[in-house]
Amino acid sequence: MKKIPFRLTPYQVQFLLVVGFVTVGYALYLRYLAVEFSTQALACDAGLQSMLCKARALATSLFKNSVFGIVALVIAALHLMRPSIVLLTGGLIAAGLGIVLYNVALSGIAIGLLILGFARPAPATA
């Protein structure tokens, strides 16, 4: 059985660019306007019940337990074994959130593994 290399179409690349920018943009929004912004942090800690405070609490509990980095690493390892656009998208989302939200080491390794998913042997020439 001949194994074809994993290549993205231009539409898939555009889709991944949009997903990546939206993910990193939302992570930056959470980090700088919910987690590190002292006025908002004090209001959320005092008991304010808004969507931003709930998102802040969820993101804080996830990055304290390194969930973003672990999920990104698992998805990247699966993508390395069996490349697909679904795994690449999931890994990109988890790694983007992890890089911005304090899980840099594991998410960085995951991004390296996602890139290695494209490294396949060149097709033999006649």
Looking at residue 118, what is its pLDDT? 86
CA distance 87 to 100: 20
Alpha-carbon Rg for the chain in angstroms: 18
The tens digit of pLDDT for each residue in 10-47 reads: 999 999 999 999 999 999 999 999 999 999 999 999 99
The tens digit of pLDDT for each residue in 70-124 reads: 999 999 999 999 899 999 999 999 999 999 999 999 999 999 999 998 887 666 6
CA distance 102 to 26: 14
Looking at residue 117, what is its pLDDT? 87
pTM of the model: 0.88
Mean pLDDT of the chain: 91
Burial of 42 (0-12, 13-18, 19+ CB in 10 A): exposed
Alpha helices in 65-84 (DSSP H): 67-81
